[in-house]
Each structure stands twice: as C-alpha cells, then as structure tokens.
Chains A and B, each alone.
Chain A
Amino acid sequence: QKEVEQNSGPLSVPEGAIASLNCTYSDRGSQSFFWYRQYSGKSPELIMFIYSNGDKEDGRFTAQLNKASQYVSLLIRDSQPSDSATYLCAVRGGFKTIFGAGTRLFVKA
C-alpha cells in the first residue's frame, strides 16, 4: 500500500465549477499536509498547507483535513482553464515529505 494515495484522474470539470481532489495517507503520525500544483514540465509549487482538523480557505482554494479518517481534500471553486495541472498531495512527518502520484485536472473552457 502506498503511503499517500490519490486518484490519478484525469478529473475533468467545466469552467466555473468546483473541482474536488482527494487524498488518503497511511501514517497516523503525519503532522502536516500540503497541496502542490505542477504544470507539465515544471516543478511543484505550493498552493497551501493544513495541519489542524477542519477547513482552511485561501482565495478560491479550500483544504480539508480529517485525521481520524486519514483524509485530505482540496476544493477549487470557480475553476479556470489555468487551473489545469497535476495536483500533488504531500504529507510530512518530521523532515521527510511523502508525495502522492498526483491527480490530473482538466478545466474545460
């Protein structure tokens, strides 16, 4: 079993819709959780992090964390074609960050 699991997609949503990306992790000792966006041929860039149960909002992005269920999600409201990318879920325990394989998102204009 992989330590961080994501649906590889592709997830296709129309412009203006809400995109919902999910991630589960296996290590209960994980302390902080990250969502990165990676455009094709580029390096990952941090969208947001969360470390407490509940929701955290930043602009059009909302991260949700449920440690009991070992589940993290990212909601993107008012999706734009420029949001089309691979979204990487990452989990940190100590200094080591473990990444999922990513979910490809396509936002159709």
Chain B
Amino acid sequence: GAGVSQSPRYKVAKRGQDVALRCDPISGHVSLFWYQQALGQGPEFLTYFQNEAQLDKSGLPSDRFFAERPEGSVSTLKIQRTQQEDSAVYLCASSLAGTSGPTDTQYFGPGTRLTVL
C-alpha cells in the first residue's frame, strides 16, 4: 500500500470488553512499532517488532495488552478487559530497515482512537 493503514479508525468499547486494533505497515517494511498517545501528550512507545519477532515490549502498560505480528507483516494490538484509562489514540509506525539508525524513518499510520466508556 501507499502508506501505513490502521483499522478501525474509531472504536468505542464498554469497560471490560476486549478490543483488537489492526495495523497494515508499508509493504516490505521490516520494523513495526506501536505507540499510545493520550490527549495532549506525545506518543508513548508500547512495543517493537522486527519482522515477526517482538524484540521489545517494555512499554506495554499491563498484561492486558498483547501484540502480535505472526507473518512479519500485519500486526494486531489486543487489549483485554478494557479500562477507562486505556482511552487514547493508538498509533502504528513502520520503517524499512531493521536498524536503529536515524535514517531509518518511521512512517505513522492515521491511528485508532479508542474510547472506553
């Protein structure tokens, strides 16, 4: 695809429901990142994949959050038993290479706005 896509764009969940957020990275991109952005804050790192390997999940707030990228392309972020504090925009980004260098630009998707009632 032309860019990173995410679905759904908006999700309203009742407290306690499980949700699944999908990210389609740019074709061929090795690296995939998930971020959480609360209102008025910058994106906060959640987790990082290099192909199908989850190399860093240190930012996941609790064991209710789980991410996967089984075939090294599409990724899903799952939140179990949602709480009101989970309300935020969830951003996915991908980059071409599996390096940490500055030229490995991260391209962001449009985000999924999750509201937990």
Q: Is B62 an interface position by the 8 A CB rule?
A: no
Of B48, B56, B58, B108, which one neighbours A45 at CB under 8 angstroms? B108
Kindly state the interface size class of chain B when it binds its partner.
20 to 34
- Chain B binding site: helix, strand, loop or mixed by DSSP? loop
Q: How far is the CB of A38 from chain B (nearest CB, A)?
A: 9
A interface SS class: strand
Quick check: is A32 within 8 A (CB to CB) of the other chain?
Answer: yes
CB of B102 within 8 A of CB of A31, answer: yes
Of B43, B58, B100, which one neighbours A44 at CB under 8 angstroms?
B43
A102 to B106 alpha-carbon distance, docked (Å):
18
B105 in contact with A46 (CB, 8 Å): yes
A interface residues with partner B (beta carbon < 8 Å): 4, 8, 31-34, 42-46, 49-51, 88, 90, 92-102
